[in-house]
């Protein structure tokens, strides 16, 4: 921590400030000049807004590439994470809690940046000239406190007890001997930040990329939901934490109340009213389901429905602050992208039948050289095996012979079929010649992402301007269903919300068996979280808060699980003969050793001793 704060400690705001939510000069990296510069700055609402935008800009890269966390789950294989501003050293689903030290550094940088805004704008409040000015300044403090709460929420979710400071740090001596603050105490401080934001933020943010009251309510609900889970399912690796069943009930209740307000009080709707749209035809990408269009800039960014409760914006071409989603989620055929995120074979079977509303017969991996491999029923290589599936499947994945628009140097190059292991070859389909999708030879699963990939040219792989969803209404629906289910079992309003999400996949409502009891409905909620939120960075956090790693990968000292591809080849094996310690090091992260070297009062989490 000493190293972190030595870089960002003393800041005096000076000179020619120019900010927007997408592009902002980093205040905390500037050197102080004169005391006059600082004293002359904190005078107007514009001054406060400019500083707040600096906090947004500093914190955005901590959260806007959360898809990397899906590499720690079972459904996405991640390669080469070095392109992210905050890069991880691995995306292996096991024993990963010692590989994200850089996140600790970034989060505390965000904390200090928000403290800078909170403290200085707070001094402006008594001098506000009008009630309206006071209201605006309080809302700025509310946004900064929401951002600070988000940073601390992530810190406790990873590390448990963490040092807490709620003011600007001006000197290393203020933190070089600080101890870890108990989890419950930090949680209460986060709760206070979120509550202040709920009270002070407007019902609707003034511009895209800023937070309003629904975001604050949703994050307060989410914090309470996680607190409920830790108390319900336990967190034995964190030796200082004692779970309480009564605390779990209180937290589930509070979470449900906040989520219900988000759902009912602000007129928010699912994207395109949750309608599925058109599936199109097999092997054709000119028409795609509505779910696809929520995740590309031209149709997803306007957010007129209100599904995107909170987003982090990007600057687009030439700003140096773009989202790089094409670079990560597709291959060479699309602007020479790098194919860093690939859906695993196991994800495909999660997409249910639009006819039965339940899981289809499992796909069968086959060698393409085997007779009938492309036509056998349920063959993973047979395009017909993917007919009548959840519309979100076509909007999210490419399987063999599905098309994607190729692009090169900002120009469309025509549709290209994805055919596993035919990389960049000429193929004939229905009498027409195509060049097959080139993934650079990195695909090891047999599927490719379509989600997040623009179907129009004009931007390079690193110049995207899609607004990354930090909080989405569909997630709130599912968290509300989870909280009420834990309290009371399946409730009619919660079932209705889950069915609304299923409807966007053109799935029928849940059958009576799926809502017969708490366990069955929880399974249905988890299923929707998997397919609805895939690649948005939720799965790792869900598995940890539910203590579900053993359920997914098998018990300690077991056989673990192989991942495979559509040809039947074994790819990776995880948790084979793994001791309890391997699981523990996923449930609780390591306090960075470099920080402990500088501060001996930072105790280490027990799995890392």
Q: Please report which confidence band the pLDDT of residue 32 belongs to, taking 50, 70 and 90 as the band edges.
A: very low
Print burial letters for 3-28: b (CB count within 10 Å at least 16), e (below 16): ebbeebbebbbbeebebebbbbeebb
- pLDDT exceeds 80 at position 302: yes
Decide: 535 and 452 in contact? Cβ < 8 Å. Answer: yes
Query: Does the structure show a pLDDT above 60 at 4?
Result: no
Closest CA to 194 of 226, 162, 150, 160: 150
Q: CB neighbours (10 Å) of residue 31?
A: 8
What one-character-per-residue DSSP string does 222-251 give?
Answer: HHHHHHHHHHHH--TTSTT----HHHHHHH
pLDDT tier, 31 (very low <50, low <70, confident <90, very high otherwise)? very low
Mention every residue, 6+ apart, whose C-beta is less than 8 A from residue 393: 348, 351, 386, 505, 531
State the pLDDT at residue 35: 42
On whether residue 584 sits in a domain, the answer given is: no
Q: What is the pLDDT of residue 9?
A: 32
**What is the per-residue pLDDT across 208-217, written as a single tens digit (0 to 9) for each?**
999 999 999 9
Burial tier of 126 (Cβ tally within 10 Å: 0-12, 13-18, 19+) = exposed
Distances (CA, A) of 188 to 23, 192, 193, 227, 238: 33, 6, 9, 10, 18
pLDDT band at 85 (very low <50, low <70, confident <90, very high): low
pLDDT given at position 30:
33
What's the mean pLDDT when you consider all of the chain? 91
In tens, the pLDDT along 280-290 reads 999 999 999 99
- Look up residue 259 and give its two tokens: 């989520």
Tokens of 429: 């389909």
Asked if residue 16 is part of any domain, the answer here is yes
The token duo for 443 is 């695909």
Q: Which of 466, 484, 499 is the last residue of a domain?
A: 466
Inside any domain, residue 513 = no
> Do residues 173 and 296 both lie within one domain?
no
pLDDT tens-place string over residues 12-23: 233 323 333 333
Dig out the tokens for 9 from the structure: 């400690």
CA gyration radius, the chain: 24
Largest Cα separation within the chain, whole Å, is 81
Does 147 lie in the same domain as 26?
yes
Identify the band that residue 81 occupies on the pLDDT scale cut at 50, 70 and 90. low
For 415-426, write each residue's pLDDT tens digit: 999 999 999 999
What number is the average pLDDT over the span 456-474?
Answer: 93
Please state the domain count of the chain: 2
Q: Is 94 helix (H, G, I), strand (E, B) or coil?
A: coil
Rounded CA gap, 527 and 501, in Å? 11
Q: Among 419, 435, 466, where does a domain finish?
A: 466
Please indicate, yes or no, whether residues 99 and 196 belong to a single structural domain of this protein. Answer: yes
Query: How far is Cα 497 from Cα 477, in angstroms, rounded to an integer?
Result: 6
If asked whether residues 439 and 351 sit together in one domain, one would say yes
Task: Give the SS3 label for residue 454.
Answer: coil
Residue 254, pLDDT score: 98
Is 547 part of a structural domain of the chain? no
pLDDT over 70 percentage in the chain: 92
Instruction: Quick: pLDDT tens for 42-54.
Output: 999 999 999 999 9
Task: Using pLDDT thresholds of 50, 70 and 90, give the confidence band for residue 511.
Answer: very high
Crossing angle of helices 518-532 and 492-503, in 10° steps, is: 30
> What is the rounded distance in angstroms from the CA atom of residue 19 to the CA atom of residue 51?
8
CATH number at residue 170: 1.25.40.890
DSSP secondary structure letter of residue 66 = G
For 265, the enclosing helix (H) or strand (E) is helix 245-265
pLDDT at residue 41, as a whole number: 85
Backbone angles phi, psi at 179, to 5 degrees: -100, 170
Q: Where are the alpha helices (DSSP H) in 418-491?
A: 473-488
pTM score of the predicted model: 0.93
Whether 499 is covered by a domain: the verdict is no
Are 191 and 325 found together in one domain? no
**Once rounded to an integer, what is the mean pLDDT over residues 575-587?**
98
Of 33-37, 73-77, 149-153, 522-526, least confident by mean pLDDT is 33-37
Q: Which domain holds residue 415?
A: 281-305+314-466
535 closest CA partner among 331, 328, 337, 287: 328
Q: 308-325 pLDDT, tens per residue?
A: 999 999 987 777 778 889
Residue 203 DSSP symbol:
S
Given a cut of 60, whether residue 377 has pLDDT beyond it is yes
**Whole-number Å distance between alpha carbons of 106 and 142:** 21
Whether residue 61 has pLDDT greater than 70: yes
Determine, yes or no, domain membership for 285.
yes
140 pLDDT higher than 90: yes
- Output the pLDDT for position 266: 98
Q: Is 166 in the same domain as 288?
A: no
Query: Could you give the percent of the chain with pLDDT greater than 90?
Result: 85
Q: Whats the size of the chain, residue-wise?
A: 609
In-domain check, residue 26:
yes
Task: Note whether 288 and 169 are same-domain residues.
Answer: no
Q: Of 466, 494, 525, which residue sits at a domain end?
A: 466
Once rounded to an integer, what is the mean pLDDT over residues 22-44?
50
> Does residue 524 sit within a domain?
no
């Amino acid at each position: 921590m000493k190293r972190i704060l030595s870089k960002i400690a003393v800041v005096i705001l000076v000179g020619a400030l120019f900010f927007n939510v997408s592009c902002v000069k980093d205040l905390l990296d500037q050197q102080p000049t004169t005391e006059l510069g600082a004293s002359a700055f904190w005078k107007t609402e514009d001054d406060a807004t400019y500083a707040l935008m600096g906090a947004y800009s500093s914190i955005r890269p901590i959260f806007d590439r959360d898809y990397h966390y899906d590499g720690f789950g079972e459904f996405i294989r991640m390669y080469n994470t070095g392109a992210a501003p905050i890069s991880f050293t691995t995306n292996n689903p096991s024993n990963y809690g010692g590989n994200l030290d850089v996140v600790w550094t970034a989060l505390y940088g965000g904390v200090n940046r928000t403290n800078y805004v909170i403290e200085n704008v707070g001094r402006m409040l008594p001098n506000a000239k009008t009630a309206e000015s006071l209201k605006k300044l309080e809302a700025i403090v509310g946004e900064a406190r929401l951002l600070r709460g988000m940073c601390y929420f992530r810190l406790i979710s990873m590390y448990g007890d963490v040092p807490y400071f709620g003011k600007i740090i001006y000197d290393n001596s203020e933190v070089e001997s600080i101890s870890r603050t108990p989890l419950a105490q930090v949680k209460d401080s986060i709760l206070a930040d979120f509550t202040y934001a709920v009270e002070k933020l407007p019902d609707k943010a003034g511009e895209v990329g800023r937070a309003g009251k629904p975001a604050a309510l949703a994050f307060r609900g989410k914090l309470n939901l996680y607190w409920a889970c830790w108390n319900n399912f336990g967190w034995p690796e964190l030796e200082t934490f004692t779970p309480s069943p009564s605390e779990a009930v209180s937290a589930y209740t509070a979470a449900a109340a906040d989520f219900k307000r988000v759902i009912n009080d602000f007129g928010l709707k699912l994207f395109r009213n949750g309608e599925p749209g058109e599936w199109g035809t097999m092997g054709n990408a000119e028409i795609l389901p509505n779910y696809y269009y929520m995740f590309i800039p031209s149709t997803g960014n306007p957010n007129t429905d209100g599904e995107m409760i909170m987003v982090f914006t990007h600057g687009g071409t030439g700003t140096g602050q773009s989202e790089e989603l094409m670079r990560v989620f597709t291959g060479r055929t699309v602007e020479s992208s790098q194919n860093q995120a690939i859906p695993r074979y196991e994800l495909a079977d999660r997409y249910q039948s639009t006819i039965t509303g339940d899981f289809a017969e499992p796909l069968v991996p086959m060698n393409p050289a085997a007779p009938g491999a492309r036509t056998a029923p349920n063959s993973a290589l047979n395009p017909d095996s993917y007919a009548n599936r959840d519309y979100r499947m076509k909007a999210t994945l490419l399987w063999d012979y599905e098309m994607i628009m190729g692009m090169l140097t900002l120009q469309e190059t025509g549709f290209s079929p994805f055919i596993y292991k035919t990389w960049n070859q000429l193929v004939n389909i229905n009498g027409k010649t195509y060049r097959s999708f080139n993934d650079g030879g990195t695909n090891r699963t047999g599927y490719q992402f379509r989600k997040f990939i623009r179907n129009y040219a004009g931007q390079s792989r690193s110049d995207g301007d899609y607004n990354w969803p930090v909080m989405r209404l569909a997630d709130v629906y599912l968290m509300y269903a989870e909280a009420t289910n834990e309290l009371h079992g399946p409730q009619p309003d919660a079932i209705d919300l889950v069915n609304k999400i299923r409807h966007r996949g053109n799935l029928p409502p849940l059958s009576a068996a799926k809502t017969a009891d708490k366990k069955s409905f929880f399974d249905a909620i988890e299923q929707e979280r998997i397919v609805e939120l895939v690649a948005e960075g939720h799965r790792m956090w869900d598995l940890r808060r539910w203590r579900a790693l053993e359920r997914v990968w098998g018990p300690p000292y077991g056989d673990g699980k192989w991942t495979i591809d559509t040809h039947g080849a074994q790819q990776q094996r995880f948790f084979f003969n793994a001791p309890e310690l391997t699981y523990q090091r996923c449930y609780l992260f390591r306090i960075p050793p470099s920080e402990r070297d500088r501060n001996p009062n930072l105790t280490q989490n027990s799995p890392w001793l």
